[in-house]
Amino acid sequence: MKKQVVLALAATFIMSVAGTALAAPVNHFNDVPANHWSYEAVTKLNQAGIVSGYGDGTFRGERTLTRYEMAQIVANALTKLEKATDEQKALIEKLSIEYSSELENLGVRMAAMEAKSDNVKFNGEYRIRYLGTHATDEDGVKTKDNVVDGRLRLWLTGKIDDRWQFKTRLQQISDLKTSDGHYGSSYLKAFDGDNRATYGNEGIDGTIRLNRVYVHGDLNWGTLEAGKIPLYTGNGFQYSGPIDGVAVGFGKELKVTGFFGRTLNANQISKGSYEIKNGKIITTAPEYGDNNLTGVNLDYNFTKNLNFKGAYMSANPVGSGEKFHKQKYWESALNYNLTPDLVLTGIYGGSNKDEDNRGYFGILTYKNCNTSKPGSYGMYLEYAHLEENALMDSGLTDWDLDKNQKGFYYEFNYCPAKNVKVNVNYTDWKAVKGSDKAKAYGGFVTYYF
Protein backbone atom coordinates (compact mmCIF):
# COMPACT_ATOMS: atom_id res chain seq x y z
CA MET A 1 0.00 0.00 0.00
CA LYS A 2 2.80 2.33 0.91
CA LYS A 3 4.53 1.49 -2.36
CA GLN A 4 1.40 2.39 -4.33
CA VAL A 5 1.12 5.74 -2.53
CA VAL A 6 4.77 6.50 -3.26
CA LEU A 7 4.33 5.60 -6.92
CA ALA A 8 1.19 7.75 -7.16
CA LEU A 9 2.95 10.72 -5.60
CA ALA A 10 5.92 10.20 -7.91
CA ALA A 11 3.65 10.07 -10.94
CA THR A 12 1.85 13.20 -9.82
CA PHE A 13 5.17 14.99 -9.35
CA ILE A 14 6.44 13.89 -12.79
CA MET A 15 3.20 15.04 -14.47
CA SER A 16 3.35 18.39 -12.69
CA VAL A 17 6.95 18.90 -13.72
CA ALA A 18 6.16 17.93 -17.30
CA GLY A 19 3.17 20.26 -17.35
CA THR A 20 5.30 23.03 -15.94
CA ALA A 21 7.95 22.49 -18.57
CA LEU A 22 5.37 22.63 -21.33
CA ALA A 23 3.60 25.72 -20.04
CA ALA A 24 6.84 27.39 -18.93
CA PRO A 25 5.25 29.68 -16.29
CA VAL A 26 7.14 31.67 -13.72
CA ASN A 27 8.04 29.52 -10.72
CA HIS A 28 6.51 31.50 -7.90
CA PHE A 29 8.49 29.58 -5.31
CA ASN A 30 11.94 30.19 -6.73
CA ASP A 31 14.12 32.24 -4.44
CA VAL A 32 14.63 35.89 -5.35
CA PRO A 33 18.42 36.31 -5.67
CA ALA A 34 20.02 38.00 -2.67
CA ASN A 35 21.38 40.85 -4.84
CA HIS A 36 18.00 41.59 -6.47
CA TRP A 37 16.87 45.26 -6.34
CA SER A 38 13.54 44.19 -4.78
CA TYR A 39 15.14 43.75 -1.33
CA GLU A 40 16.35 47.34 -1.17
CA ALA A 41 12.95 48.60 -2.37
CA VAL A 42 11.04 46.51 0.19
CA THR A 43 13.44 47.55 2.96
CA LYS A 44 12.75 51.23 2.21
CA LEU A 45 9.01 50.63 2.28
CA ASN A 46 9.32 48.70 5.53
CA GLN A 47 11.35 51.47 7.18
CA ALA A 48 8.72 53.99 6.07
CA GLY A 49 5.93 51.89 7.57
CA ILE A 50 4.29 51.20 4.22
CA VAL A 51 4.73 47.44 4.59
CA SER A 52 4.95 45.43 7.81
CA GLY A 53 5.97 42.03 6.48
CA TYR A 54 4.37 39.00 4.89
CA GLY A 55 2.43 35.93 5.96
CA ASP A 56 2.70 36.08 9.76
CA GLY A 57 3.36 39.85 9.74
CA THR A 58 7.15 39.65 10.08
CA PHE A 59 9.76 41.05 7.75
CA ARG A 60 12.61 38.58 7.32
CA GLY A 61 15.48 40.54 5.93
CA GLU A 62 17.99 37.93 7.10
CA ARG A 63 17.16 35.36 4.40
CA THR A 64 16.21 35.24 0.73
CA LEU A 65 12.52 35.24 -0.12
CA THR A 66 10.58 33.38 -2.73
CA ARG A 67 8.79 35.29 -5.47
CA TYR A 68 5.50 34.26 -3.85
CA GLU A 69 6.57 35.74 -0.51
CA MET A 70 7.78 38.91 -2.20
CA ALA A 71 4.43 39.22 -3.99
CA GLN A 72 2.68 39.05 -0.59
CA ILE A 73 4.71 42.04 0.56
CA VAL A 74 3.87 43.99 -2.62
CA ALA A 75 0.18 43.12 -2.16
CA ASN A 76 0.42 44.58 1.35
CA ALA A 77 1.97 47.76 -0.03
CA LEU A 78 -0.75 48.14 -2.70
CA THR A 79 -3.39 48.39 0.03
CA LYS A 80 -1.59 51.45 1.45
CA LEU A 81 -0.93 53.24 -1.84
CA GLU A 82 -2.91 56.34 -0.86
CA LYS A 83 -0.63 56.96 2.14
CA ALA A 84 2.58 56.67 0.12
CA THR A 85 4.70 59.54 -1.14
CA ASP A 86 5.39 60.00 -4.86
CA GLU A 87 8.76 58.26 -4.46
CA GLN A 88 7.20 55.36 -2.54
CA LYS A 89 4.39 55.04 -5.13
CA ALA A 90 7.02 54.74 -7.84
CA LEU A 91 8.73 51.91 -5.91
CA ILE A 92 5.43 50.09 -5.37
CA GLU A 93 4.52 50.43 -9.04
CA LYS A 94 7.92 49.06 -10.08
CA LEU A 95 7.53 46.11 -7.68
CA SER A 96 3.98 45.41 -8.88
CA ILE A 97 5.23 45.16 -12.46
CA GLU A 98 8.09 42.82 -11.45
CA TYR A 99 5.73 40.48 -9.57
CA SER A 100 2.61 40.97 -11.70
CA SER A 101 2.08 37.26 -12.47
CA GLU A 102 2.41 36.33 -8.78
CA LEU A 103 -0.01 39.07 -7.82
CA GLU A 104 -2.45 37.85 -10.43
CA ASN A 105 -2.31 34.35 -8.94
CA LEU A 106 -2.91 35.87 -5.52
CA GLY A 107 -6.03 37.54 -6.93
CA VAL A 108 -4.72 40.99 -6.01
CA ARG A 109 -6.21 43.97 -7.80
CA MET A 110 -3.20 45.94 -8.90
CA ALA A 111 -4.20 49.39 -7.78
CA ALA A 112 -1.10 51.02 -9.21
CA MET A 113 -1.71 49.56 -12.65
CA GLU A 114 -5.43 50.43 -12.54
CA ALA A 115 -4.54 54.00 -11.67
CA LYS A 116 -2.43 54.07 -14.81
CA SER A 117 -5.32 52.79 -16.93
CA ASP A 118 -7.49 55.62 -15.56
CA ASN A 119 -4.77 58.14 -16.27
CA VAL A 120 -6.52 59.49 -19.37
CA LYS A 121 -10.14 60.63 -19.15
CA PHE A 122 -12.60 61.67 -21.85
CA ASN A 123 -15.66 63.87 -21.63
CA GLY A 124 -17.54 66.00 -24.08
CA GLU A 125 -20.70 67.73 -25.22
CA TYR A 126 -22.89 68.00 -28.29
CA ARG A 127 -24.98 71.12 -28.93
CA ILE A 128 -27.75 71.65 -31.46
CA ARG A 129 -28.55 75.34 -32.02
CA TYR A 130 -31.04 77.49 -33.89
CA LEU A 131 -30.57 81.25 -34.30
CA GLY A 132 -32.75 83.58 -36.35
CA THR A 133 -31.99 87.25 -37.09
CA HIS A 134 -34.16 90.08 -38.44
CA ALA A 135 -32.16 93.21 -39.29
CA THR A 136 -32.84 96.66 -40.69
CA ASP A 137 -30.05 98.84 -42.09
CA GLU A 138 -29.78 102.62 -42.11
CA ASP A 139 -31.51 102.74 -45.52
CA GLY A 140 -34.49 100.83 -44.19
CA VAL A 141 -33.61 97.60 -46.02
CA LYS A 142 -34.89 94.62 -44.05
CA THR A 143 -33.24 91.22 -44.16
CA LYS A 144 -33.50 88.01 -42.25
CA ASP A 145 -31.40 84.90 -41.92
CA ASN A 146 -31.04 81.91 -39.65
CA VAL A 147 -28.52 79.32 -38.56
CA VAL A 148 -29.08 75.69 -37.60
CA ASP A 149 -25.86 74.04 -36.53
CA GLY A 150 -24.38 71.30 -34.41
CA ARG A 151 -21.23 71.61 -32.31
CA LEU A 152 -19.26 68.67 -30.94
CA ARG A 153 -16.55 69.12 -28.32
CA LEU A 154 -14.37 66.34 -26.95
CA TRP A 155 -12.04 66.88 -23.99
CA LEU A 156 -9.12 64.59 -23.23
CA THR A 157 -7.33 65.04 -19.90
CA GLY A 158 -4.19 63.11 -19.05
CA LYS A 159 -2.55 63.06 -15.64
CA ILE A 160 1.21 63.45 -15.88
CA ASP A 161 1.76 63.34 -12.11
CA ASP A 162 0.10 64.75 -8.99
CA ARG A 163 0.82 68.32 -10.12
CA TRP A 164 0.77 68.30 -13.92
CA GLN A 165 -1.99 67.60 -16.39
CA PHE A 166 -2.19 67.51 -20.16
CA LYS A 167 -5.43 68.80 -21.68
CA THR A 168 -6.71 68.91 -25.22
CA ARG A 169 -10.02 69.69 -26.91
CA LEU A 170 -11.31 68.70 -30.32
CA GLN A 171 -14.14 70.73 -31.84
CA GLN A 172 -16.29 70.29 -34.91
CA ILE A 173 -19.16 72.53 -36.05
CA SER A 174 -21.49 71.58 -38.89
CA ASP A 175 -24.28 73.40 -40.67
CA LEU A 176 -27.41 71.26 -40.24
CA LYS A 177 -29.22 73.16 -43.00
CA THR A 178 -27.02 71.71 -45.76
CA SER A 179 -26.38 68.11 -46.69
CA ASP A 180 -22.58 68.42 -46.74
CA GLY A 181 -22.23 69.99 -43.29
CA HIS A 182 -20.77 73.27 -44.63
CA TYR A 183 -22.18 76.73 -44.03
CA GLY A 184 -23.68 78.05 -47.26
CA SER A 185 -23.68 81.58 -45.87
CA SER A 186 -23.24 83.22 -42.51
CA TYR A 187 -26.03 84.84 -40.57
CA LEU A 188 -26.35 88.61 -40.68
CA LYS A 189 -25.67 90.43 -37.42
CA ALA A 190 -25.42 94.07 -38.44
CA PHE A 191 -24.64 96.62 -41.12
CA ASP A 192 -21.72 98.99 -40.65
CA GLY A 193 -21.48 102.66 -41.61
CA ASP A 194 -20.28 101.76 -45.11
CA ASN A 195 -23.39 99.65 -45.68
CA ARG A 196 -21.42 96.42 -45.40
CA ALA A 197 -22.62 93.33 -43.60
CA THR A 198 -21.12 92.02 -40.40
CA TYR A 199 -22.00 88.52 -39.38
CA GLY A 200 -20.97 85.45 -37.44
CA ASN A 201 -20.09 81.81 -38.05
CA GLU A 202 -18.41 82.40 -41.41
CA GLY A 203 -15.87 79.80 -42.43
CA ILE A 204 -17.33 76.84 -40.51
CA ASP A 205 -16.67 73.86 -42.77
CA GLY A 206 -17.27 70.82 -40.58
CA THR A 207 -13.57 70.22 -40.04
CA ILE A 208 -12.46 68.69 -36.75
CA ARG A 209 -10.06 71.16 -35.16
CA LEU A 210 -7.70 70.88 -32.23
CA ASN A 211 -8.48 74.23 -30.58
CA ARG A 212 -7.05 73.50 -27.13
CA VAL A 213 -3.87 71.61 -26.36
CA TYR A 214 -1.79 72.53 -23.33
CA VAL A 215 -0.21 71.48 -20.07
CA HIS A 216 -1.36 72.76 -16.68
CA GLY A 217 0.85 72.64 -13.60
CA ASP A 218 0.16 73.43 -9.95
CA LEU A 219 3.44 74.69 -8.56
CA ASN A 220 4.53 75.60 -5.03
CA TRP A 221 4.26 79.28 -5.86
CA GLY A 222 1.37 79.27 -8.34
CA THR A 223 0.16 77.79 -11.62
CA LEU A 224 1.53 77.49 -15.14
CA GLU A 225 -0.24 76.81 -18.44
CA ALA A 226 1.54 76.49 -21.77
CA GLY A 227 0.42 75.58 -25.29
CA LYS A 228 -2.86 76.49 -27.00
CA ILE A 229 -4.42 77.63 -23.76
CA PRO A 230 -7.88 79.07 -22.89
CA LEU A 231 -7.79 82.74 -21.91
CA TYR A 232 -10.46 84.89 -20.29
CA THR A 233 -9.44 88.49 -19.70
CA GLY A 234 -11.21 89.72 -16.57
CA ASN A 235 -14.86 88.71 -16.99
CA GLY A 236 -14.28 87.91 -20.68
CA PHE A 237 -15.06 91.44 -21.88
CA GLN A 238 -12.05 91.97 -24.13
CA TYR A 239 -11.09 88.41 -25.00
CA SER A 240 -12.33 84.89 -24.29
CA GLY A 241 -10.80 82.25 -26.48
CA PRO A 242 -7.58 80.36 -27.18
CA ILE A 243 -4.10 81.82 -27.43
CA ASP A 244 -0.87 80.10 -28.44
CA GLY A 245 1.26 81.03 -25.45
CA VAL A 246 1.73 80.83 -21.70
CA ALA A 247 -0.10 82.00 -18.57
CA VAL A 248 1.52 82.17 -15.14
CA GLY A 249 -0.60 82.74 -12.03
CA PHE A 250 0.20 83.28 -8.39
CA GLY A 251 -1.33 84.65 -5.19
CA LYS A 252 -4.21 83.58 -2.98
CA GLU A 253 -6.24 86.57 -1.81
CA LEU A 254 -5.17 88.62 -4.84
CA LYS A 255 -4.73 86.30 -7.81
CA VAL A 256 -2.47 87.69 -10.49
CA THR A 257 -2.07 85.97 -13.86
CA GLY A 258 0.33 87.18 -16.50
CA PHE A 259 -0.17 85.97 -20.07
CA PHE A 260 1.51 86.21 -23.44
CA GLY A 261 0.61 84.62 -26.75
CA ARG A 262 -0.83 84.94 -30.21
CA THR A 263 -4.61 85.22 -30.48
CA LEU A 264 -6.69 83.70 -33.25
CA ASN A 265 -8.61 86.00 -35.63
CA ALA A 266 -8.25 88.93 -33.26
CA ASN A 267 -7.75 91.72 -35.78
CA GLN A 268 -10.12 92.50 -38.65
CA ILE A 269 -8.11 93.37 -41.78
CA SER A 270 -11.03 93.75 -44.20
CA LYS A 271 -14.75 94.09 -43.57
CA GLY A 272 -16.02 91.90 -46.36
CA SER A 273 -19.15 92.70 -48.38
CA TYR A 274 -22.59 91.45 -49.28
CA GLU A 275 -25.21 91.54 -51.99
CA ILE A 276 -28.87 90.56 -52.03
CA LYS A 277 -30.13 88.20 -54.74
CA ASN A 278 -33.75 87.12 -54.77
CA GLY A 279 -34.11 88.27 -51.20
CA LYS A 280 -31.15 86.22 -49.97
CA ILE A 281 -27.91 87.65 -48.60
CA ILE A 282 -24.75 86.52 -50.43
CA THR A 283 -21.74 87.39 -48.30
CA THR A 284 -18.00 87.75 -48.78
CA ALA A 285 -16.19 86.97 -45.57
CA PRO A 286 -14.02 89.55 -43.79
CA GLU A 287 -10.34 88.78 -43.34
CA TYR A 288 -8.71 88.56 -39.95
CA GLY A 289 -5.19 88.56 -38.61
CA ASP A 290 -3.66 87.66 -35.27
CA ASN A 291 -2.49 89.73 -32.35
CA ASN A 292 0.44 89.18 -30.06
CA LEU A 293 -1.35 89.73 -26.77
CA THR A 294 0.54 90.58 -23.57
CA GLY A 295 -1.23 91.38 -20.34
CA VAL A 296 -2.26 90.62 -16.79
CA ASN A 297 -5.46 89.43 -15.07
CA LEU A 298 -6.45 90.38 -11.53
CA ASP A 299 -8.94 88.56 -9.31
CA TYR A 300 -9.72 89.68 -5.75
CA ASN A 301 -12.49 88.91 -3.24
CA PHE A 302 -13.27 91.97 -1.12
CA THR A 303 -15.79 89.90 0.84
CA LYS A 304 -17.42 86.51 0.35
CA ASN A 305 -20.14 88.29 -1.65
CA LEU A 306 -18.11 90.90 -3.57
CA ASN A 307 -15.55 89.95 -6.21
CA PHE A 308 -13.38 92.11 -8.48
CA LYS A 309 -11.93 91.03 -11.82
CA GLY A 310 -9.74 93.20 -14.00
CA ALA A 311 -7.39 92.99 -16.95
CA TYR A 312 -4.92 95.18 -18.82
CA MET A 313 -3.30 94.14 -22.09
CA SER A 314 -1.34 95.27 -25.12
CA ALA A 315 -2.32 93.94 -28.57
CA ASN A 316 0.29 94.08 -31.30
CA PRO A 317 -1.23 93.15 -34.71
CA VAL A 318 0.59 90.51 -36.75
CA GLY A 319 0.51 90.39 -40.53
CA SER A 320 -1.90 93.30 -41.07
CA GLY A 321 0.49 95.72 -42.72
CA GLU A 322 0.22 99.39 -41.81
CA LYS A 323 -3.55 99.33 -41.30
CA PHE A 324 -3.36 98.61 -37.58
CA HIS A 325 -1.13 99.75 -34.77
CA LYS A 326 -0.34 98.52 -31.31
CA GLN A 327 -3.28 99.19 -28.96
CA LYS A 328 -3.97 99.03 -25.23
CA TYR A 329 -7.15 97.47 -23.86
CA TRP A 330 -8.51 97.17 -20.33
CA GLU A 331 -11.55 96.08 -18.37
CA SER A 332 -12.83 95.93 -14.79
CA ALA A 333 -15.79 94.11 -13.28
CA LEU A 334 -17.57 93.79 -9.94
CA ASN A 335 -19.65 90.69 -9.16
CA TYR A 336 -21.94 91.03 -6.14
CA ASN A 337 -24.05 88.24 -4.66
CA LEU A 338 -27.30 89.97 -3.65
CA THR A 339 -28.55 86.59 -2.42
CA PRO A 340 -27.09 83.07 -2.80
CA ASP A 341 -29.08 82.76 -6.06
CA LEU A 342 -28.96 86.31 -7.41
CA VAL A 343 -25.78 87.95 -8.75
CA LEU A 344 -25.39 91.53 -10.00
CA THR A 345 -22.44 92.21 -12.34
CA GLY A 346 -21.11 95.49 -13.68
CA ILE A 347 -18.40 95.59 -16.37
CA TYR A 348 -16.61 98.62 -17.77
CA GLY A 349 -13.79 98.65 -20.29
CA GLY A 350 -12.22 100.28 -23.28
CA SER A 351 -9.13 101.04 -25.32
CA ASN A 352 -6.65 103.85 -25.91
CA LYS A 353 -8.05 104.65 -29.36
CA ASP A 354 -8.89 108.30 -29.96
CA GLU A 355 -12.69 108.12 -29.91
CA ASP A 356 -15.67 105.82 -29.37
CA ASN A 357 -13.49 103.79 -27.04
CA ARG A 358 -15.70 102.81 -24.08
CA GLY A 359 -18.21 100.12 -23.29
CA TYR A 360 -20.14 98.70 -20.34
CA PHE A 361 -22.47 95.90 -19.26
CA GLY A 362 -25.05 95.56 -16.51
CA ILE A 363 -25.96 91.92 -15.84
CA LEU A 364 -28.40 90.18 -13.51
CA THR A 365 -28.07 86.41 -13.08
CA TYR A 366 -30.59 84.27 -11.21
CA LYS A 367 -29.51 80.71 -10.46
CA ASN A 368 -28.26 78.49 -13.29
CA CYS A 369 -29.18 75.12 -14.70
CA ASN A 370 -27.15 72.37 -12.99
CA THR A 371 -26.78 69.40 -15.35
CA SER A 372 -26.48 67.00 -12.41
CA LYS A 373 -29.84 68.18 -11.02
CA PRO A 374 -32.83 67.61 -13.35
CA GLY A 375 -35.44 70.33 -12.93
CA SER A 376 -32.94 73.08 -12.09
CA TYR A 377 -33.05 76.32 -14.07
CA GLY A 378 -31.58 79.79 -14.40
CA MET A 379 -32.30 83.22 -15.89
CA TYR A 380 -30.03 85.92 -17.26
CA LEU A 381 -30.60 89.55 -18.24
CA GLU A 382 -28.01 91.91 -19.65
CA TYR A 383 -27.88 95.45 -20.97
CA ALA A 384 -24.86 96.49 -23.04
CA HIS A 385 -23.57 99.73 -24.53
CA LEU A 386 -20.50 99.15 -26.71
CA GLU A 387 -18.86 101.87 -28.76
CA GLU A 388 -17.07 101.04 -32.00
CA ASN A 389 -13.52 101.07 -30.57
CA ALA A 390 -14.23 99.72 -27.10
CA LEU A 391 -13.18 96.17 -27.95
CA MET A 392 -10.67 94.13 -29.82
CA ASP A 393 -12.31 92.69 -32.92
CA SER A 394 -12.40 89.29 -31.22
CA GLY A 395 -13.89 90.63 -28.00
CA LEU A 396 -17.02 89.25 -26.38
CA THR A 397 -16.90 85.87 -28.04
CA ASP A 398 -19.18 84.60 -25.26
CA TRP A 399 -21.72 87.41 -25.63
CA ASP A 400 -24.46 88.20 -28.14
CA LEU A 401 -23.90 91.92 -28.50
CA ASP A 402 -20.96 93.35 -30.40
CA LYS A 403 -19.13 96.57 -31.31
CA ASN A 404 -21.25 99.67 -32.01
CA GLN A 405 -24.30 98.01 -30.48
CA LYS A 406 -26.48 98.73 -27.49
CA GLY A 407 -29.44 96.79 -26.22
CA PHE A 408 -30.74 93.86 -24.22
CA TYR A 409 -30.03 90.15 -24.13
CA TYR A 410 -32.33 87.71 -22.30
CA GLU A 411 -31.74 84.04 -21.55
CA PHE A 412 -33.55 81.20 -19.79
CA ASN A 413 -31.91 77.82 -19.22
CA TYR A 414 -33.41 74.58 -17.92
CA CYS A 415 -32.18 71.03 -17.27
CA PRO A 416 -35.00 68.58 -18.10
CA ALA A 417 -32.82 65.53 -17.46
CA LYS A 418 -29.39 64.69 -16.13
CA ASN A 419 -26.59 65.95 -18.41
CA VAL A 420 -29.03 67.81 -20.68
CA LYS A 421 -29.35 71.60 -20.86
CA VAL A 422 -31.92 73.64 -22.81
CA ASN A 423 -31.36 77.34 -23.48
CA VAL A 424 -33.65 79.90 -25.11
CA ASN A 425 -32.54 83.50 -25.73
CA TYR A 426 -33.56 86.79 -27.32
CA THR A 427 -31.53 89.83 -28.33
CA ASP A 428 -32.79 93.32 -29.20
CA TRP A 429 -30.19 95.89 -30.22
CA LYS A 430 -29.55 99.00 -32.26
CA ALA A 431 -26.42 100.84 -33.29
CA VAL A 432 -24.75 103.27 -30.88
CA LYS A 433 -24.01 105.45 -33.91
CA GLY A 434 -26.27 105.00 -36.92
CA SER A 435 -29.75 103.59 -37.41
CA ASP A 436 -28.97 99.88 -37.89
CA LYS A 437 -30.94 97.57 -35.65
CA ALA A 438 -31.78 93.89 -35.30
CA LYS A 439 -33.60 91.31 -33.25
CA ALA A 440 -32.24 87.81 -32.77
CA TYR A 441 -33.92 84.82 -31.17
CA GLY A 442 -33.00 81.23 -30.76
CA GLY A 443 -32.16 78.36 -28.52
CA PHE A 444 -30.02 75.30 -28.18
CA VAL A 445 -29.96 71.90 -26.53
CA THR A 446 -26.66 70.60 -25.14
CA TYR A 447 -25.95 66.98 -24.23
CA TYR A 448 -23.03 66.29 -21.89
CA PHE A 449 -21.22 62.99 -21.65
pLDDT at 293 over 80: yes
Give the model confidence (pLDDT) of 180-210 as tens digits. Answer: 444 444 434 444 444 444 444 444 556 788 8
pLDDT at 174 over 50: yes
Give the model confidence (pLDDT) of 383-399 as tens digits. Answer: 999 999 998 865 544 44
Q: What is the pLDDT of residue 381?
A: 94
Query: Strand pairing of 164-175 and 187-191?
Result: unpaired
Higher pLDDT, 206 or 94: 94
Give the model confidence (pLDDT) of 417-433 as tens digits. Answer: 999 999 999 999 999 99
Q: What is the pLDDT of residue 13?
A: 39
Q: Which residues make up the CATH 2.40.160.10 domain(s) of the chain?
A: 121-448
Contact indicator for 409, 384 with CB cutoff of 8 Å:
yes
The pLDDT > 90 percentage for the chain reads 42
The helix or strand, by DSSP H or E, that contains position 443, with its residue range, turns out to be: strand 437-448
pLDDT at 143 over 70: yes
Q: What is the pTM of this model?
A: 0.67
Average pLDDT, the chain: 79
Q: What is the pLDDT of residue 331?
A: 96
- Give the model's confidence band at 59: pLDDT under 50 very low, under 70 low, under 90 confident, else very high: low
Residues 6+ apart with CB under 8 A from 107: none
Residues 6+ apart with CB under 8 A from 8: none
Contact indicator for 257, 249 with CB cutoff of 8 Å:
yes
Higher pLDDT, 138 or 189: 138
**Any idea which of 136-140, 261-265, 402-406, 416-420 has the lowest mean pLDDT?**
261-265
pLDDT at 153 over 50: yes
- Give the three-state DSSP class for 373: coil
Higher pLDDT, 384 or 101: 384
Is the domain defined by 121-448 classed in CATH 2.40.160.10?
yes
- Which amino acid is located at 375 in the chain? G
Q: What is the pLDDT of residue 295?
A: 97
Q: What is the pLDDT of residue 276?
A: 67
